[in-house]
Structure 1
Amino acid sequence: MSTPVSTSRTKSRDGTSRVQDPEGTKQNIIEVAAQEFALNGLSGARIDEIAAKTRSSKRMIYYYFGSKEGLYVSALENAYRQVREGEAKLDIEGLPPLDALKRLVEFTFDHHHQHEEFIRMVMIENIHHGEFLERSGVIRDLNVTAIGSIEAIYAKGLADGVFRAGLDPLEIHWQISALCFFNVSNRATFSKIFGKDVGSPAYQESLRRQTVDMVIRFVVKADELGGV
């Protein structure tokens, strides 16, 4: 049984009762802050703006997160948590390894397409050479599961004689991430340079199929490709 979030009631200036939800308030601040950081970067995001959009105060934000950098780390942790929680809900343990890998790639492509702020925050963190991510044990712990899932799928595929030997699960994760990440990070420049809207539904559906196909062809044994 989950523990209910502690709430309290206070009186507003007009005398009406208002529910205080600290955890809900913190989550709202994190979600709004993620949009601000994604749009303006760490240096350009303003606590005043975040406070205004969350109907909180700078004092409350600093109370919860300590500093703008502390809020940024919390937003980064939340972004990675959403990815890993989504993967955990896929329920792929009982699937054949090929189907499990396909579903994982499809989820990653869809998640990144639907959460551009995640891609932008990762790009910003790379500009900072991973300085703030390195401070977070939470992010390191969260991402252990990403490699663990691929290790399990790959081991099962090897045992079934479907996947080729000698691959590193971390490198498989890298290739999946690279294809799905680039689809968002370089969409605007590709569209402008080549005069094609690669973000259109038709283009995205085509790229999604190709991404799955490329990953599968990288992992599957050559003599199994005919059945893919």
Structure 2
Amino acid sequence: MNEPKVKRDPEGTRRRILDAATQQFSAHGLAGARVDAIAAAADTNERMLYYYFQSKEGLYVAVLEGMYVEFANHGVNEDLSGLQPADAIRALALSTWDYFRANPQWLNLINNENLHGGQYLARSAKLREASSPVISLLSAILARGTTAGEFRADVDALDFYVTLVAMGYYVVSNRFTLKAFVGRDYSEPSVIEAVSTMQVEMLLSFLRTASAAAPLHPASVGTTARRDAARMT
């Protein structure tokens, strides 16, 4: 009697290896992650790991690539075309920062790779392609804002995106050390809302033209007038 054939699922095996490796690298870094533990968690053997990824370092690069692509796609998948330019910037920023809070593994992996000086990411031939769609999306939003007379025309989309990402990344990545250092818990919902509101307004204030700038709060106007009067006396 013939034994039933085992159905091969190469893509499923590869996916399980990547998922298991993501857990290991996020928790232990490149040096501390164990190939045998990854293979066991993926319900496969070490031979298959080397078959698909050639080496532990090759697997690590594949994990980083996948995480960056997923992050970039998250921004692109946001439907912002129907929003006014300022609302689209706000939605993109809040969605990006929410992604960090929902994906602590991503932060751990990026922090670990920075300890390696980015040398393993530099091996990726396709990584930079991942950022192109979200930069194009942001460029389109900025262009719409410029056409509408709301945004400045001299904003570099890449620099602005890096700044947007950095604002949210810092308070999430450093939430534990910030709590110990300054005594404020930046993972508390009320603090998240207050800081996010401030950061969005900072981004929009940079983008606005002089004619489109939001009017000053009455208290601020009074303070400014008193300061100007003092200078003239």
TM bracket (short chain): 0.7 to 0.9
Find the counterpart in structure 1 of residue 128 from structure 2: 140
Structure 2 unmatched ranges of 5 or more: 217-233
Q: Is the 8 A contact 2:149 2:212 kept in 1?
A: no
The CA deviation at 1:221 is 2.1
| 2:200 corresponds to which of 212, 216, 225 | 212
Find the counterpart in structure 1 of residue 90 from structure 2: 102
Q: Tell me the TM-score normalized by structure 1.
A: 0.86
- Pair 1:44 & 2:32 matched: yes
Q: Is the 8 A contact 2:68 2:127 kept in 1?
A: yes
Over 3 Å off, 4+ runs: 15-20
Find the counterpart in structure 1 of residue 184 from structure 2: 196
The CA deviation at 1:109 is 0.5
Structure 2 CA distance for aligned equivalents of residues 114 and 222 of structure 1 = 36
Q: How many residue pairs end up in the alignment?
A: 215
Alignment deviations for residues 196-222 of structure 1 (CA, whole Å, 9 cap, x no partner): 322122222322222222222221224
Q: Alignment identity in percent?
A: 35
Q: Is the 8 A contact 1:113 1:183 kept in 2?
A: no
Bigger CA radius of gyration: 2
Structure 1 CA distance for aligned equivalents of residues 183 and 57 of structure 2 = 39
- Pair 1:125 & 2:113 matched: yes
The aligned amino acid for 1:218 is F
For 1:63-102, list aligned pairs within 5 A: 63-102=51-90
Secondary structure of the residue aligned to 1:226 is: coil
Q: Evaluate the alpha carbon distance shift between residue 91 and residue 56 of structure 1 in structure 2; reply closer, same or farther with a 3 A threshold.
A: same
Q: Evaluate the alpha carbon distance shift between residue 203 and residue 16 of structure 1 in structure 2; reply closer, same or farther with a 3 A threshold.
A: farther
Structure 1 unmatched ranges of 5 or more: 1-10
Alignment deviations for residues 167-215 of structure 1 (CA, whole Å, 9 cap, x no partner): 2111101111111111221111001222332212222232222222222
Secondary structure of the residue aligned to 2:126 is: helix
The CA deviation at 1:16 is 8.0
- Pair 1:155 & 2:157 matched: no
Find the counterpart in structure 1 of residue 103 from structure 2: 115
Structure 1 CA distance for aligned equivalents of residues 125 and 147 of structure 2 = 33
